[in-house]
Amino acid sequence: MVENAYGNNIKCSGPQMTVSPFVTTSFNQKRPQDYIYHTPVYDPTDANDDGVPDNPGNVLYYQENYSGNKDSLGLNFGFALTFNIPLDNRFQDSCLDAANTQINLQKQELNAKMLNYEIARLKNCGELKLAGIYFDPKSRFAKLCEGVMVSPPPNQVIPHTHKLK
C-alpha cells in the first residue's frame, strides 16, 4: 500500500492500482527417451476348450507401440491487475484534514524560524555598525547586513550645537 507521509507520524493511504506482469515457464521431460516400446503378444490357443492356454508363455510376436514420450515446454505470461479502494471516505477526509493541519503547522514553524533569523541578523549587524565594524562593501559577506539601518534611540537628545546669531 502506498502511503503519503506528512510528518508528525501522519500517513495517509489512498486508492491505488497495481499492475504486475509475470512470465512462467515449465519444462517436462521423460527419460529414457524411447519413442516406441514392444509388448509381447502371447499364444492364446486353447485347442481342447478346457479354458487353459495350450502353450502358456509362448510369445507369438512383439507388438510395436508408440510411447508418447515427449519433452514439453510451457510458457505462460500475462499480468495481474489489483485495485485497492477505501470503502469509508470519512477516514480519508480526516487524514487529509490532519495532513493539511500538519502542513500549516510546518509553514508557521518555518516562518517563525525565518523571523528569528532576520531579528538576529538585524540585532547583530546593528550592534556591529554602532561599534564601527562592518564588512567591506566589495566582500560577498556585505550582503549579510544589507538593509540594516541604525538610528538613535527615540526620546534621546543627540549631542549637538547651535550657531547663535
Task: Note whether residue 105 is domain-resident.
Answer: yes
Q: What is the pLDDT of residue 51?
A: 86
Q: What is the pLDDT of residue 37?
A: 87
Task: Note whether residue 155 is domain-resident.
Answer: no
Burial of residue 125 (CB within 10 Å: 0-12, 13-18, 19+) is: buried
Looking at the structure, tell me whether residues 76 and 107 fall in a common domain: no
Q: Are 142 and 136 in contact (CB under 8 A)?
A: yes
Domain assignment of residue 145, given as a range: 1-16+86-149
Task: Note whether residue 165 is domain-resident.
Answer: no
Task: Give CA 103 to chain center in angstroms.
Answer: 22
Q: What is the pLDDT of residue 88?
A: 81
Task: Note whether residue 156 is domain-resident.
Answer: no
Looking at the structure, tell me whether residues 70 and 47 fall in a common domain: yes
Average pLDDT (81-108) is 89
Number of domains in the chain: 2
Task: Please state whether the peptide bond connecting residue 86 to the residue before it is cis, i.e. omega within 30 degrees of 0.
Answer: no
Judged against a pLDDT cut of 90, whether residue 62 lies above it is answered with yes
Average pLDDT (47-51) is 88
